[in-house]
Structure 1
Amino acid sequence: MSALKRALAATTLFLALAGCGDAATTPESSASAAGDTFPVTVDHAFGKTVLEAKPERVVVVGYSEQDYYLALGTVPVAIRDWYGDQPSATWPWAQSYLKGAKPTVLPRADLDYEQILGLDPDVIVGVSAGLTQEQFDTLNKIAPTVAQPSADDPWAVTWQDKTRKAGQILGRSAEAEKMVTDLETRLAAASTKYPQLKGASTVFASGFEGQFYIFSPNATGSQVLLDLGLTMSDEVGKLTDNANDYYTISKERFDLLDVKVAVWSEAPDDALIKQLLANPLYTDRAVHKEGRDVFLGQEANGAFSFSSVLSLPYVIDTIVPALAAAVDGDVATTSDFSAK
C-alpha cells in the first residue's frame, strides 16, 4: 500500500470511528435479553452492550469462538485465526457448518481495525479475546462489541458461558440452553461410563519453544478434565495462579507430571516431545513407564483446546476412551493420537 493510500485509509477509519460514537454501550437500558426478542442488553467486563436487532454480520475476534455461532446457524463474516492453519480458520468438526462459505480470516496477532471496519459488522464478539479497555473502546466505535465477562480473569470463560452468550447475541437463547444441557448430559454419561476417571489425578501439559508447561485448572482443556471427574493438585493450582494461567516446569520438576494420567497437547513425534521421551528424568517415572501419558497431536488437541459445543463430541468419543485406557496403568491399553 502506498503512503497516500495508507493516509487515506487512516483518515477513513478516524472519521468512521468518530461518527459511530459510543451509543452501543450504555450504563443502563430497559432492553432485556429474556427470550428471543430484540433489543437485548449483553453484560461484559466493560459495561453493557445493546443490540437493537438480530445481527446478521458477525465478526469474531475471540479465539475459538466461531464454533458457537456456527452451531447456532450463523456463519461469521470473519473469524480470528488461533493456530493450526485450518481452512477459513475452521477445524474439521465445524467445516460442514460453513455451508460452503469462506469467512475472512483475521490475523492471530494484532487486531487490524481498518480490516474490521471494512467488514461492516453488525456485532463484534471477543468473549475469548482477552480484550483490553482500549481495544474494546476502538472496536465498539466500529460496531457494538461484546467483550469477556470478567476483566479480572479474561481467559477463564467456560464453554457453557460462550454458548449462552452466543445464543443471547443471536436471539436464540433457548436453543443455546438446550445445547448446553444436552452436552452436559453427554459429559456426565461419559463420566459414568468410565468411573476409573473419577478422582484420578491429572495435568494438562504442553511443550513449546524448548520449554515444558502445565496449564492452570482454569484453562479450557483442564476444565474438561475436571468435568470428567479427574482432579488437579493444589500445588498445580498455586503454581499456575498467574496472568498467563500456566507454569513453566524445569526438568527438576517433572514430579508434577507423575500423576494418574498426564495429557500432552503434542503428538509423540513432535520434536520437543521426542526430547522429553529421551530424558530419563521423565521416562523413568511411573506415569510414562505405565503408559499413563496421553499425547494428543494436532486435531485431537485442537478439539480438546477448543472444548466447544462442536468439538466436545469429538473429545467424548475419541479422547475420553484414551484417558480411561491410560488410567489403568496397562501399557497395552493406551491410545496413540500421533496419526490424528
Structure 2
Amino acid sequence: MSLSSPSRRRPRRLVAPVLVLSLAGALTACGGGSSADDSASSSDASAKASAGAFPAEVATKFGTVTVDEQPKRVVALGWGDAETALALGVQPVGQSDWLAFGGDGVGPWAEGEYDKSPQKIGTLEPEYEKIAALKPDLILDTKSSGDRTRYDTLSKIAPTIGVPKGGEQYKIGWKKQTEMISQALGLADKGEKLIADTEAEFTAAAKEHPEFKGKTITVGSRTSNGWGAYVRGTDRVGFVEQLGFENNPKVEAEAGEGFSVTVSEENLQMLDADLVVMAPIGIDAARISGDALYKSLPAVKAGHDIVFTDKNISTAFATNSVQSVGYALDKVVPMFADALK
C-alpha cells in the first residue's frame, strides 16, 4: 500500500492520559520505575507520575533551564513549537504564526486542536509586552535565531526553553524539538512515543523506496530576492536525508552558519542534482518552473524535479514539526518517487 493512502495515517494528536517521566528518568536507565524493594506505595507512585515529576531540567545553548512545576500557561514562539505542544496535548495561550496560516496559526495537520484560539505573537521580533500580559509560566523558543538578547528578554518574563547548543539559525530538527518540549512539559514519555512513531514512518517510507538511497538532492527555494538552497542541519534537508538522499555536495561546499546558501543566476547550475525540489516563497510557482535558466538544469530537462504548487504541501515540508512531517511524508514521498522515474 502506498504511503499516500489515508489508511496508513494515525491520529497525530495524543489526548489520552498517560504516565509521564521526569527528565532524570528519561536519561537515567536505573531511575525509570519502581523496584520490588521500593517502599513507596503504588498509589503514591501513580499519583506522582500522572502529575509529572518536577522540577524538570532541559539543556539549552544558554545553560540548563529548570521548570519547577507543571506549566499551565505556555507561550510557544519558535517555528513549530506550538504544533509540538499540541501534539503532546498542551494548548499554548500564545503562539507565533511563522508561515501566516491564519486562524489558530497552525497547519491543516493540526487544525481543530485548540479549544480556544491563542494570542498571536510576532515572529522575528516577539512582542514582549504582549507576551508578558499573557502571564506565561513557560516560554518555548526552541526553533529560532538563537539570539542572546532575545533569550535574555524572554527569560525575564518566564522560564524559556531556547535553542539547543548548535541550534542557532533555526538548525534544530523535529526530534530534538520534540524531546526538549516534552521534557519541559513533564511529558517525556509522550515525546518519546511521538518520536518513535514518526521515526517508524520514515523507516517505512525509506524501505518502500530503496531508489532514494544515495541519490543527491537539492532542496531549494526562490523568493522575490532570488534563489537559494538549504544546507545540512536544517529541517528540510534532515527530512530528505532520513529517506536516504544525500544533500547536494556543491551546496554543502558553500555552507556557512546560516540555514541556506544564496545561489546567483550565473551559478544556477549548482542546483543540479539527481533530484531538485524547489519551493516558491512569496512568488508564483511559475517563476521557478517557467524560468529559462532553471529549465536548463540537466535534472529539470530529464523531468527529475519538483516545484511545489500546493501551499499545504510546501508549508508542511518547511515546518517539519512532529505533526507536519507525517502529512509531508504522505504527500511528498510519492512525488519524489514519480520524479525519479
TM interval, short-chain normalised: 0.7 to 0.9
Choose which of 150, 157, 161 in structure 1 pairs with 2:165: 150
Q: How does 1:294-309 map to 2 (within 5 A)?
A: 294-296=306-308, 297-309=310-322
Aligned mate of 2:76, from 36, 45, 60? 60
Does residue 130 in structure 1 map to residue 145 in structure 2? Answer: yes
Pairing 1:262-273 to 2, within 5 Å after superposition: 262-266=276-280, 270-271=283-284, 273=285
Deviates more, 1:36-45 or 1:150-159: 150-159
Q: Could you tell me how far apart the structure 2 residues matched to 1:37 and 1:153 are? A: 29
Deviation at 1:109, TM superposition (A): 3.3
Matches within 5 A, 1:97-116: 97-98=113-114, 100-116=115-131
Mapped pair 1:166 → 2:181: yes
Answer yes or no: is the 8 Å Cα contact 1:44–1:146 preserved in 2. yes
Task: Please list every run of 5 or more consecutive structure 1 residues that lacks an aligned counterpart in the other structure.
Answer: 1-30, 329-340
1:34 aligns with 2:25: yes
Contact 1:257 1:287 in 2 (8 A): no
Report the counterpart of residue 244 of structure 1 in structure 2.
258
Alignment partner of 2:250 out of 235, 239, 246: 235
Q: Which residue of 1 aligns with 2:231?
A: 216
2 CA distance for matches of 1:152 and 1:88?
26
Distance 2:57 2:338 in 1: 46
Work out whether 1:284 is the aligned partner of 2:284: no
Secondary structure of the residue aligned to 1:168 is: helix
Tell me how far 1:77 sits from its aligned partner: 0.4
SS in 1 for 2:156: helix
| CA distance, structure 2, for counterparts of residue 108 and residue 195 of structure 1 | 39
> What TM-score, normalized to structure 1?
0.81
Partner of 1:222: helix, strand, or coil?
helix
- Is this contact kept in 2: 1:63–1:128, CA < 8 A? yes
Aligned to 2:41: none
Q: Which amino acid aligns with 1:139?
A: L
Aligned to 2:337: 324
DSSP-derived class of the 1:88 partner:
coil
SS of residue in 1 equivalent to 2:92? coil
Distance 1:162 1:134 in 2: 21
Q: Distance in 2 between matches of 1:121 and 1:288?
A: 49
Structure 2 residue corresponding to 1:259, chosen from 273, 283, 286: 273
1:134/1:277 Cα in 2 relative to 1: closer, same or farther (>3 Å)? closer
Check whether the contact 2:171–2:259 (CA below 8 A) recurs between aligned residues. Answer: no
User: Would you say the 8 A contact 1:57–1:76 is kept in 2?
Assistant: yes
Q: Secondary structure at the match of 2:253?
A: helix
Aligned match of 1:9: none
- The gaps in structure 2 that reach 5 residues or longer are 1-21, 27-51
Task: State how far apart, in whole Å, the 2-side matches of 1:235 and 1:298 are.
Answer: 28
CA distance in 2, matches of 1:182, 1:316: 13
Per chain length, whose mean CA-contact separation is higher, i.e. which structure has more relative contact order (CA < 8 Å, sep 6+)?
2
Counterpart amino acid of residue 289 in structure 2: L
Contact 1:33 1:42 in 2 (8 A): no
Does the C-alpha gap of structure 1 residues 301 and 277 become closer, same or farther in structure 2, counting only changes over 3 Å? closer
How far 1:83 moved relative to its partner?
Answer: 1.8
Shift of 1:57: 0.7
For each residue in 1:46-66, what CA deviation from the matched residue of structure 2 results, as whole angstroms up to 9, or x when unmatched? 112111111011101112211
The alignment partner of 2:78 has SS state of: coil
- Contact between 2:146 and 2:168, CA under 8 Å: does it hold in 1? no
Aligned match of 1:72 = 88
Displacement after TM superposition at 1:130 (Å): 1.9
Q: CA deviation at 1:280?
A: 3.1
Say if 1:276 and 1:175 are closer, same or farther in 2 by CA, change over 3 A.
closer
CA distance in 2, matches of 1:230, 1:151: 23
Give the % identical residues: 27
